[in-house]
């Protein structure tokens, strides 16, 4: 087979046979297919799409490009969660230990920032010593001992996806349902899961801004995952404003620790965390009904058990043993920290959440190209949410920047992302559930 002929066929809208898809994935892994050809293949899929069978074939080929974990030695169910990405979406940091505290194993394979969204793995990189890409033996040990471990793709897990993920980020091919489906599920299936819950975002900060597109992605993910033998459901959730009141890697870690220790807890963030946790417990067979599942997750969080699991996981993966207790001593801090004042007066009536995410990248907290280093300290804290009353003397956020010049420039970008006007009606946090 010739890569260019497979690219041409997809460019012309043909349905690719599974052996052609597997050939391209094997070339991705070995390097036999060039970066230009990978980019062209991704662009052809972006414009022409894939049938359900093609998406299944792509997912399975990417899963099989490396090791597939086996958790049969564990004494409980193995379930995970994945978010399609947003701004201020640090849910995984609280959710994984909370679910683990309820007796469910959560081996979480996470990614780095993609487009305007932050990556869970980048957040954990802000913790000194934390091994975000350990060998599989350490990963297994921490999952066994703590109930959860949040890591990135190792060289052994879905290596084809790791290469494709980086190329998609810099070639404007992120927002493709079959590519997103295969990317998410190849990692999750390689993790040897029994169940999976998906958080599919919709709104101004989501890759799928429209509800219809988010539903299409949720259905694709649920259909492909269930077709591969993993019990999967999805929640479609709101991303019309940053989910946490922080955006930026170290700042979101601090926000998560404050959440777990009850120092501060954002209401919308809590609602999403509890909803996803309840869905995971139901999927794992650890709760009878939504009400009982929510109660168990709430108790795991408010009792401090989730914080204790988080601390042990951080230590198990090489971080400080007292990280939870001394979070402010360990996280990197920006050189310039100051408030961004609102212009005008009124309630926050709309937020261009994608622009908030882009502003973090402008500060150096994200990547323009895949090889870019990032500044883990920069971003925003104290972000005002929809409905907040502001005036010219009221901060809409606190900016954390490397220089005064960066702070001046990006403050203007952030102000432009906020619209003031009449107080909006409260929005839902969870719109619907998709069940395969």
Which of 10, 29, 59, 80 is labelled catalytic? Answer: 80
- Closest alpha carbon to 114 in 50, 79, 161, 49: 161
CA distance 338 to 202: 31
Nearest CA among 430, 410, 318, 427 for reference residue 360: 410
d(CA 275, CA 81): 12
Point out the catalytic residue in the list 188, 268, 286, 367.
188
Annotated active-site residue in 163, 187, 201, 215: 187
Whether 82 is a known active-site residue: answer: yes
- Does the annotation mark 120 as catalytic? yes
Q: Rounded to whole angstroms, what are the CA distances from 28 to 177, 283, 422?
A: 20, 33, 51
168 noted as active-site residue: yes
Catalytic residue list contains 181: no
Catalytic, 347? Answer no
**Residue-wise burial string across 116-135, b where 16 or more C-beta atoms lie within 10 A, e elsewhere:** bbbbbbbbbbbbeebbbebe
Q: Which of 92, 117, 120, 245 is catalytic?
A: 120
For the question of residue 423 being annotated catalytic, the response is: no
Residues 6+ apart with CB under 8 A from 139: 107, 149, 151, 154
10, 22, 63, 81: the active-site residue: 81
Catalytic, out of 29, 59, 65, 83: 83
Sheet order of strands, 389-390 included: 389-390, 346-351, 418-421
77: DSSP letter: -
Q: Is 162 a catalytic residue?
A: no
**132 has catalytic annotation:** no
SS3 38: helix
Active site residue 183: yes
> What is the distance, to the nearest Å, from the Cα of residue 60 to the centroid of all Cα atoms in its chain?
21
- Among the listed residues 168, 215, 231, 258, the single catalytic one is 168
Q: What are phi and psi of 279, to 5 degrees?
A: -65, -40
Question: Which member of 29, 154, 183, 233 is catalytic?
Answer: 183
Structure tokens at 176: 């493709």
Q: Which CA distances in Å does 398 have to 238, 339, 340?
A: 23, 4, 6
Phi/psi region, residue 422 (left: phi>0; alpha: psi -120 to 50; beta: rest), is beta
Pair of tokens at residue 291? 């009400």
Phi first, then psi: what are they for 167, rounded to 5°? -70, -40
**Residue owning tokens 């399975």:** 60
CB 158 within 8 A of CB 117: no
Query: Where in 39-87 does DSSP place strands (E)?
Result: 79-83
* Catalytically active residues, by annotation: 80-83, 120, 168, 183, 187-188
């Amino acid at each position: 087979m010739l890569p260019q002929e497979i690219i041409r066929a997809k460019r012309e809208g043909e349905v690719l046979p599974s052996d052609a898809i597997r050939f391209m994935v094997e070339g991705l892994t070995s390097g036999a297919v060039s970066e230009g050809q990978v980019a062209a293949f991704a662009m052809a899929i972006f414009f022409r799409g894939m049938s359900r069978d093609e998406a299944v074939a792509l997912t399975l080929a990417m899963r099989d490009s490396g090791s597939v974990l086996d958790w049969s030695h564990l004494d409980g169910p193995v379930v995970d969660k994945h978010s399609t990405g947003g701004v201020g979406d640090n849910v995984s940091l609280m959710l994984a230990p909370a679910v683990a505290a309820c007796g469910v194993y959560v081996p979480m394979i996470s990614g780095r920032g993609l487009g305007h969204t932050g990556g869970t793995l980048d957040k954990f990189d802000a913790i000194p010593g934390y091994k975000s890409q350990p060998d599989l033996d350490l990963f297994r040990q921490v999952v066994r001992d703590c109930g959860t471990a949040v890591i990135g793709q190792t060289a052994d897990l879905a290596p084809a996806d790791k290469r494709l993920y980086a190329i998609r980020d810099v070639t404007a091919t992120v927002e493709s349902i079959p590519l997103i489906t295969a990317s998410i599920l190849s990692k999750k299936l390689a993790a040897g899961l029994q169940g999976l819950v998906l958080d599919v975002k919709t709104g101004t900060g989501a890759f799928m801004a429209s509800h219809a597109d988010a539903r299409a992605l949720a259905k694709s993910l649920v259909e492909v995952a269930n077709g591969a033998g993993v019990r999967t459901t999805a929640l479609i959730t709101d991303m019309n404003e940053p989910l946490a009141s922080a955006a930026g890697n170290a700042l979101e870690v601090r926000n998560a620790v404050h959440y777990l220790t009850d120092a501060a807890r954002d209401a919308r963030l809590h609602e999403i965390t509890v909803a996803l946790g309840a869905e995971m417990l139901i999927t794992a067979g650890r709760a009878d009904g939504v009400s009982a599942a929510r109660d168990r997750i709430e108790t795991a969080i408010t009792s401090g058990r989730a914080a204790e699991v988080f601390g042990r996981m951080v230590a198990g993966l090489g971080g400080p043993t007292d990280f939870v207790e001394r979070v402010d001593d360990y996280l990197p801090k920006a050189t310039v920290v100051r408030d961004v004042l609102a212009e005008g007066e009124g309630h926050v009536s709309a937020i261009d959440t994608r622009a908030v995410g882009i502003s973090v990248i402008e500060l150096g907290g994200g990547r323009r190209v895949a090889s870019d280093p990032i500044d883990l300290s920069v971003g925003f804290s104290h972000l005002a949410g929809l409905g907040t009353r502001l005036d010219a003397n009221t901060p809409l956020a606190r900016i954390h920047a490397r220089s005064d010049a960066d702070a001046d420039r990006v403050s203007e970008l952030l102000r432009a992302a906020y619209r003031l006007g009449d107080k909006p009606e409260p929005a839902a946090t969870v719109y619907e559930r998709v069940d395969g």
